[in-house]
Amino acid sequence: MKIIRNDNPVLIVGAGPVGMLTALELSLFGIETRIISKHPRYSPHSKATIIWPRVLEILSRTGVSNRIIETGHYFDQMNYYSNKKMIGNIRFDRLKYTNYRYGITIPQWKTERILEDRLNESGVFIEYGCEFIDGYNDNDVVNVTLQDNVGHIYHESYPWVIGADGYSSRVRECLGFGFDGYQMETRLAITDAELVSESTSREVGYYLHRSGNMVLAPIGDGLFRVGASVPTNYTGEINRQFFNKLLNDRVPGNKTLGHMNFCGIFNAHVRSASSYRSQNVFLVGDAAHVMSPSGAQGMNSGFQDAVNLSWKLAGVIRNEYDSSLLESYSTERMNGIKRTSKLSTFLANVSLYKKLPAIFTRDFAFRIVSRTGIVDRFITPRIAQIDIPHGELSEGITKLESGRRIPLEWNKSTLSPHLSLTKHTIFFWPGNHYIYSEWVKYFNSATKTVIGANLVNLSGKVLGFIKDLLPANSVCIIVRPDGFISDLVDINGISSNEVFNILNKKINQQPV
């Protein structure tokens, strides 16, 4: 069998939203990819409909978030009702440390269209009708078997392969990753439909009831995503009558469905691959993990995978970083998925309580945490995905720490410092009290000695969201291209040469 070495360094298998964002991110770093998809993209099912604040931030890197915001529907609160009475809410307009104090609802097919447009503008085109059949790691390459839409088989090798081929990932199967987890008991029914006599609003409503839950989310064009848990013993059809009955049982007011775009029923799964990397093969998106749709976090989490992986892989391909850095993709993202999936499962479980004491306790607790600011501090930032730290760090943004997202963006702004898209950014913070001339000398000498990063002197600058998080003493804050803090280097009592040496090693991912 003759294996032809392909010129592209990276093969992306799957052109769903996550595969497309991965290709776009890699293109930012000048890395060419080949992206293939077994199926044509368009699906009438809206699937993922919510884009969370952190994901709007990261999508701004590739010019996607503005288009999502223009095309989608704004909402800034999720209101929770129990037995048709409001018990509390989750207010995104109260979020701290982000400019996106709202979410956007948008059908997944529109998000995919925007991503594909951006991809084409970057000179990358999806090869539809091309299927990944088989593959294995072979020393420093991955040998793959592909089949085109007229049945021709090709044997090729690539330095790197990214499996973005969704829940039934063939890449995952061929490379022998496990995919442990379970199927959730409750079936879910969804439709995108008009709601008679309901004006679209900026509220997503969650309706909890002994008979099950229901969600109504405006998604633009006068339509709502209507989702509901299916009663356990229900064997009838999922149609207008079914939804109208549940609206009547679970939702206040007299709401009924108008025009329905489609409807469907499915079983959710909670699963994660045993690792997200096997030598030169990576898994991203649903190929790596699936979770309860109750938190609406699946695609959003896949987008976080794409951004976490791309700068590392690009740096390794460009010989800027040691390949050992790539292992951190798997550990960081598996940790992030564990946190997000746990939250989604929790939200699903508590919304399905049937026994009165449990319902009473849940509603009472939610009223308290909603009114005392606990939701604002600990729950909202997690749902918004702005607070998913790496490693063992606990949630709650109180200071700048290694492993946390820095609350800054990549776009230039007069309101705050900004990050470099493709390099590490090192912020030189002089502390609250310093001698200006000495600090300027120090910074100038850093710019001549520290190579390969974007150096920013914070002295006298507008500091945006980091203003209250900076320490009193001088420090260098190293931020990765994906917006996570990699290190804080205390520069007090250390010679400048030693500091610059440490910084050079850190940004080149070498042991210090």
Ligand X SMILES: Cc1cc2nc3c(=O)[nH]c(=O)nc-3n(C[C@H](O)[C@H](O)[C@H](O)COP(=O)(O)OP(=O)(O)OC[C@H]3O[C@@H](n4cnc5c(N)ncnc54)[C@H](O)[C@@H]3O)c2cc1C
The site for ligand X (CB under 6 A) is made up of: 13-19, 36-39, 47-50, 108, 131-132, 164-166, 170, 190, 266, 285-286, 293, 296-300, 302
**Ramachandran region, residue 381 (left: φ > 0; alpha: ψ -120 to 50; beta: rest):** alpha
Q: Are 128 and 101 in contact (CB under 8 A)?
A: no
Nearest CB to ligand X, comparing residues 48 and 316: 48
* Residue owning tokens 């090869």: 127
CB of 89 to ligand X, least distance (A): 18
**Ramachandran region, residue 509 (left: φ > 0; alpha: ψ -120 to 50; beta: rest):** left
Nearest CB to ligand X, comparing residues 17 and 381: 17
Nearest CB to ligand X, comparing residues 115 and 470: 115
CB of 136 to ligand X, least distance (A): 15
Nearest CB to ligand X, comparing residues 39 and 354: 39
Stated as kind and residue range, the H or E segment containing 426 is: strand 425-429
Nearest CB to ligand X, comparing residues 297 and 341: 297
CB of 380 to ligand X, least distance (A): 16
CB of 287 to ligand X, least distance (A): 6
Distance CA 269, CA 103 (A): 24
CB of 37 to ligand X, least distance (A): 4
Q: Are 313 and 296 in contact (CB under 8 A)?
A: no
CB of 29 to ligand X, least distance (A): 20
Nearest CB to ligand X, comparing residues 133 and 488: 133
Residue 371, SS3 per DSSP: helix
CA angle (14 as vertex; 12, 18 as ends), nearest 5: 85
CB of 395 to ligand X, least distance (A): 19
CB of 172 to ligand X, least distance (A): 10
Evaluated on CA atoms 66, 68, 73, 79, the torsion sign reads negative
Q: What is the DSSP string of 219-284?
A: EETTEEEEEEEPPTT--S--SHHHHHHHHHHHSSS--EEEEEEEEEEEEEEEEEES-SEETTEEE-
**Ramachandran region, residue 408 (left: φ > 0; alpha: ψ -120 to 50; beta: rest):** beta
Q: What is the 8-class DSSP label of residue 62?
A: G
Nearest CB to ligand X, comparing residues 337 and 458: 337
Nearest CB to ligand X, comparing residues 47 and 118: 47
Q: What is the DSSP string of 285-313?
A: GGGTEE--GGG--HHHHHHHHHHHHHHHH
